Structure 1
Amino acid sequence: MSAGSMQVPVGRAVTVRVPATSANLGPGFDTLGLALGYYDQLDVTVRPEAGATVEVIGEGSADSAAPVATDASNLVVQSIAHAFAHAGVAMPGLNLVAHNKIAHSRGMGSSSAAIVSGLLAAKGLLQGIAEFDEDTLLRLATELEGHPDNVAPALFGGLTIAWTTEEGPRCKRLLVHRGVSPLVLVPSFTMSTKHARSLQPESVPHEDAIFNVSRSSLLVAALTQSPELLFEATEDKLHQDYRAEAMPQTSALVKVLRDNGFAAVVSGAGPSILVLCSDPAQRVEAAQLVSQHEETPWKALMLAVDFAGGTLRNF
């Protein structure tokens, strides 16, 4: 019997948990990503009726400042549909409950988490009908997101190096040194990733490109072996300065932190800030500095590095 002729049984249910992510990490523009111990959870159950219903709890809920869609245009539903189309199986009726903690439009990978949640949910629902290996999941996620730097750590955890080939996206997952202690500073204001990308020039000076190659290479060593090098390793000349005028509060706080010796960078497209500390004590010092210098409140998240990536449970 072909996969296309098989149906997902009514009542099949899955739960998916996907971590927040931070991309770029300073110099590793569109290449490096880090999974963080802060999670969205998705519960999906197959129902007899066609279509999909979505209940959102937390970020993006109906009573939030920016509610997300709860119909077929919801990104999680679109991701599930994309996986079912790849498998050649008709998507059944679904009830979805999304427990969202990852802030939206803040540079913490909320869209990647939604995409990966949907793909992993589809993988669980299609168990015994269609198979999805890691390469397929990365390819499908990149097709939806447009680039692999955030979806790779959301899928696989840890530090990821992502690149594209003629055959599709690829990534390498690395373990992070146990001393690395991330601090994420989340503001109340948002930033459009599309707008942030529009501020990038089409070309950059040759010396700036060389500078970032050296720093991104050093950053891999700092994150995996030598955290004491994180400050120098997070210097960047390719993207943060070009985007600074669009988020002046973020740029100003990054400068305060770096002037005081902390390895602070814009998290993804911003406006959140990632501080890569070499130990937990340094992280506390960075959070205290922010609380003393900032009139505008920033939510300080002292997070672990996530090593598991997206996880799936079938019921």
Structure 2
Amino acid sequence: MTQKTMAVVGTGVIGNGWIARFIANGHKVFAFDPAPGTEEETREYLDKVWPTLIAHGINDQASLENLTFTKTLEAAVQHVDLIQENVPEREDVKKQVLAHIDAVAPASAIIASSTSGYKPSVLQKACEQHPERVIVAHPFNPVYLIPLVELAGGDHTERLILEKARGFYDELNMKPLVMSGEIDGHIGDRLMEAVWRESLHIVNDGVATTEEVDKAIVYGPGLRWALMGPFLTLHLAGGNQGMSHMLEQFGPALKLPWTRLVAPELTEELSQKVIEGTSAQSGESSVREMEHRRDSFLIKLMQLLEDEGFWPSERLVRNES
């Protein structure tokens, strides 16, 4: 692996997650965030997750000394291969920052937005110099462990840029998913939002508590989705004939009014149900303790998928064992 230099603009939870992944894989990082105290917060964050990263496996060139905070955005993006933007999810703010980056960054650098909602074509409109190198690279928290990154290009994107970006993220031990097109919310978030809306309706209607909803996912479909995702899971539900029989048998149920995809109004009563429910679920465990448990589980789960020679977004490899 050739050591690269990355810029991270915006060092919140997602930005710090990118910094951790970049450094753990042996790259150098220039970070910029105008908010006061951000460098101290980032270095404290890295100290906290570093033992987890070591347990997961880090590059021989990995070092916390490979992180440099700059006082200006210009200094952060001057000599880098990739710029990861992570500013707040507001269109005006993102466009302003991306336009600034586009104006001062080297033409060879890819500009990737971590946006969870905006289409790349929308973001490219703000960039007059090289809109073709502005893409979406949407990760999932915790960025330093979860391998998926959704890559999407816009109206001006050159396919070569997406392939170059795929190579970058692949070298970060990620699973880059180059989308066939672009859509608000991309893929993963849209699927999670659908489940989230239904969950809120179920709790709001008094059908189940937050704990019961979580159990329904964790002990049921969540176990299967970790390996196969919704399509292959239902393919198996069709028996020997697979998906064709599944659609024939269960297709009509799609017209039944089971789901309520329009989100419920987030009233004070519903908010309290969700807050009190999740508080009861977490008990006396702190968020940090729960994060540590989550990270430990994710490492074991990803190792299991690796041992099985199968990842959800890839074709199934015949297992002879």
TM-score computed with the length of structure 2 as normaliser: 0.25
Which of the pair has the greater relative contact order for Cα pairs under 8 Å at 6+ separation?
1
More strand by proportion, 1 or 2?
Answer: 1
Higher Rg? 2
**TM-score, normalised on structure 1?**
0.25
Structure with higher helix content = 2
